[in-house]
Structure 1
Amino acid sequence: MTLILPWPPRELSPNARTHWSKKSRVARNYRRTCQLLAFAASMKAPPGQIRLILEFVPPDRRRRDDDNLIAAFKAGRDGLADALRVDDHRFVTTFSVSPECTPGGAVRVSIAGGSQC
């Protein structure tokens, strides 16, 4: 199952230099949005480790640092953990940046079972 989440707001980028109070509000809203979308999609957590596969589909052709994409998506990842009712330490994350663009951007999320370690 693939879930389409909204592109992380620019205020969540480590390069944004956003005031902490505004960043906190934006992060809380983004986390809640991702949680509700995952919950509405009836995503279920497999036992053991969870392979979290992220594909970032940017809103335009500008180059982006992969470490900034992961950092900007932290609130979204926490929202997924909330919806799955798991601790996010169970996530083993892989990610890619799509060569295609989509208006507004998106994050495609898939989950799969991992090892039982």
Structure 2
Amino acid sequence: MTDRTKLVLMLPWPDMSLMPNRKNGRHWLSSHGAKVKARRDGSVVALAEMGRAKLHHSGRVPIRITFMSPDNRARDIDNLLACIKPQLDGIAKAINVDDKYFRPMVLDEGVDPERRGYLKIELGEA
């Protein structure tokens, strides 16, 4: 295991049932399974990366989230951030940091050339 100040996590594109605009009026249980899976995905990927390298931080953990969408459809970046809350919770738990310390947070977007969509989450210093 090596010491470094940055972790790069690659996660699947979030389940669109977690988008706040799609949940209006629906029972919370309709998206519960997607939340559980997303939290587990974030945790598993972070733990695997932590097995390769140890993230050193003091208090705040800078985070950069790049949403690589599967198509050119316009999406609100704030809704995308809201729908990945479970992934961020899983990551925070895996690296033993309260997610309120994910600061500063930089959000970016792009299009996946393979049209599958994914999240690239970079934690720590560059």
TM-score category of the 2 structures, normalised to the smaller one: 0.7 to 0.9
Please identify runs of 4+ aligned residues in structure 1 that moved more than 3 A. Answer: 99-102
- TM-score, length-normalised on structure 2? 0.81
Which consecutive unaligned segments of at least 5 residues does structure 2 have? 1-6
- RMSD value, Cα: 1.6
- Go from structure 1 to structure 2 and tell me whether the alpha carbon gap of 1:102 and 1:73 turns closer, same or farther (over 3 Å shift): farther
- TM-score, length-normalised on structure 1? 0.87
What residue number does 1:76 align with?
Answer: 87
Please, which moves more after superposition, 18-27 or 2-11?
A: 18-27
> In structure 1, what residue type is equivalent to 2:38?
Y
TM-superposition CA deviations, 1:90-110 (whole Å, max 9, x none): 111111112554432111011
Please, which moves more after superposition, 78-87 or 42-51?
A: 42-51
TM-superposition CA deviations, 1:40-76 (whole Å, max 9, x none): 1116251220001100000111010011111011111
Q: Residue 16 of structure 1: SS of its match in structure 2? A: helix
Residue pairs, 1:52-67, within 5 angstroms: 52-67=63-78
Pick the structure with greater CA Rg.
Answer: 2
Residue pairs, 1:9-28, within 5 angstroms: 9-17=15-23, 18-28=26-36
Q: How many residues align?
A: 113
